[in-house]
Structure 1
Amino acid sequence: MHAPDGFINVPVSAAAGAVAVAGVALALRGARRELDDRTAPLAGLTAAFVFAAQMLNFPVAGGTSGHLLGGTLAAILVGPYAGVLCVSVVLIVQALLFADGGLTALGVNIVTMSLTTVVVGYGLFRLLLRVLPKTRPSATGAAFTAAVVSVPASAVVFTLLYAVGGTADVSIGKVAGAMVGVHVLIGIGEALITALTVSSVLAVRPDLVYGARGLVKAPALRTTAPEPEAAR
């Protein structure tokens, strides 16, 4: 999914960069409402998890491979604004230190892999929670569905950018078929990781899952009172 330098022309890359800057700036302001002393460390852990997971690729089909995008997962755990920041920071570090995605294409990558996945994934997650039972399995299922949809949605946005400013000698039909088809499969892998992670955190600390706050109660801690001396 990482776009390299030169794959999208300069005008479209510059426009995507402007959108990315505006999106990150908005996220910086919004994250102040989402993060506090308790959740800020979780945001750091989420960014680190997304960074590590994106370094691991799994085979998909036809010699291609995919990796976690992480936008839906980050948004559910720490909020949509903080989620945008988490994934954007990961993309910036990857571009600067590992040449994973070009610097001139950084705006394109933030738009497709950060802004799109968070907006689509978190929006669908919250929509599903309105109609599903207020239970942990429902939240897990909503996270799975949202992650599945967010990945091909990211591929669709990239395809649209390529249709406007692509520089490669490849037809838009081939790009659309390859991108969307492969990323549907990648989305299934992402959905499994997202659902497993969200379910695990909900099981022990549901109060830390931003997207499901108030939905799932924390497990009650039961203790056995000591027996009276006379009963011993």
Structure 2
Amino acid sequence: MSTTTPLAMHMSDGIINAPTSALFGVVAIVGLAFCTWRARTDLDEKTVPMAGLVAAFIFAVQMINFPVLPGVSGHLLGGALAAILVGPYTGALCIAIVLVVQSLLFADGGVTALGANVTNMALISTFVGYGVAVLGRRLVYSRTSSPGALGGIAFVAALCGTVAAATGFVIEYAIGGAASTSLGAVAAYMWGTHVLIGAGEGLITAVTVMAVARARPDLVHLLRNAPRPAAARRTGVPA
């Protein structure tokens, strides 16, 4: 998120102190190492090109900001979208690559804050979004496989992932915030604006996931091994 205030999801250098930056740098490295190890089982002839397309799409869409409040704009985080399409482990790696390129080549996000940004947007957003999507698949998609149901699941997953990422920022700021703004003000600002940003993210995620599912449902990771709708199980018709 970009904003005229120094408090942003895509944080720059100096918002959290050096020890906190180092701590979450380690968290990011360990998390990405684990994702790299687990992603090996997910990567196949379908997932590899899809992961490249997802990373390129998220990179492009993150360059487009939409207004949230006066002086505040937001952009797609992409965690839930990546997780739904290519799985949480590969999805987290896709987001991390985008964040590294943005930080090193476009100065979008501080280098010292890169670990915190990866933790929030690549790890927290992706895994929370995927967890919500899996829960929605079990509760909703097992009863109906309509495009609207899948879109609703994607919307809620993206919204929850965005708010969770904002919560990660609040925790980091509570541990070692270097700005003069109070923790209460930071929390209220982050949660308030990111509910709105999450709604925009949810709409983009829902539309994108439904479009891919209509054209190539076999490319949607969330739908692999998904339980068939109850009506299909009763009639024996494939979902």
**Pair in the same fold by TM > 0.5:** yes
Query: 2:175 aligns to what?
Result: 164
**Which stretch has the larger CA shift, 131-140 or 195-204?**
131-140
Query: 1:38 aligns to what?
Result: 46
Residue type matched to 2:194 in 1? H
Residue type matched to 2:104 in 1? L
Q: Distance in 1 between matches of 2:33 and 2:183?
A: 32
SS at 1:60 equivalent: strand
Query: 1:224 aligns to what?
Result: none
SS at 1:142 equivalent: helix
Max Rg structure: 1
Query: 2:133 aligns to what?
Result: 125
The normalised TM-score by structure 2 is 0.88
CA offset at residue 216 of structure 1? 8.9
Query: 1:204 aligns to what?
Result: 215
Query: 1:152 aligns to what?
Result: 163
| Partners of 1:59 and 1:66 within 8 A in 2 | yes
The aligned length equals: 217
After superposition, the C-alpha distances for 1:191-224 in whole angstroms (9 at most, x for unaligned) are 000000000011010000001124499xxxxxxx
Query: 2:236 aligns to what?
Result: none
Matched, 1:89 2:97: yes
Gapped runs of 5+ residues in structure 1? 218-232
Cα RMSD (Å) of the superposition?
1.2
Q: Distance in 2 between matches of 1:51 and 1:216?
A: 32
SS at 1:81 equivalent: helix
The 5 A counterparts of 1:1-232 are 1-132=9-140, 133-135=143-145, 136-215=147-226
Query: 1:226 aligns to what?
Result: none
| Partners of 2:138 and 2:227 within 8 A in 1 | no
| Partners of 1:50 and 1:68 within 8 A in 2 | yes
| Partners of 1:74 and 1:83 within 8 A in 2 | yes
| Partners of 1:4 and 1:102 within 8 A in 2 | yes
Q: What is the aligned-residue identity percentage?
A: 54
| Partners of 1:207 and 1:214 within 8 A in 2 | no
